[in-house]
Amino acid sequence: MPLKIFIIIFFFIIAIGDILNVRNDRVKLRYFTKPLLVPSLILFYIMSTTKIEQLIIYALICYFFGDFFLLFARKKLFFIAGLLSFLAGHCFYTIAFLKTTSFLSNIPGWFYLSLTPYIFYGFFIYYRLNPYLSSMKIPVIAYLNIIFFMSFASFTRIWEINGIAFWLPFVGSIMFIVSDTLLAIRVFKYKIMRGWISVMIFYICAQLLIILGLL
**Tens digit of each residue's pLDDT (9 = 90 or more) over 72-91:** 878 888 888 999 999 999 99
Range with the largest mean pLDDT of 108-117, 128-137, 172-181, 182-191: 172-181
**pLDDT number for residue 79:** 86
Average pLDDT, the chain: 88
**pLDDT number for residue 84:** 93
Helix boundaries (H) for 24-75: 27-48, 54-70
CA geometry: angle 133, 137, 143, nearest 5 deg: 110
**pLDDT number for residue 14:** 93
Reported as a pLDDT band with limits 50, 70 and 90, residue 49 is confident
Percent of the chain topping pLDDT 90: 48
Reported as a pLDDT band with limits 50, 70 and 90, residue 192 is low
Reported as a pLDDT band with limits 50, 70 and 90, residue 50 is confident
> Residue 196 in contact with residue 183, Cβ under 8 Å?
yes
> Residue 173 in contact with residue 207, Cβ under 8 Å?
no
H or E element that contains 134: none
Each residue's pLDDT tens digit, 143-170: 999 999 999 999 988 888 888 999 999 9
Residue 108 has pLDDT above 90, yes or no: no
**pLDDT number for residue 27:** 84
Lowest average pLDDT, out of 64-68, 132-136, 187-191, goes to 187-191
**pLDDT number for residue 194:** 62
Q: For the whole model, what pTM was predicted?
A: 0.90
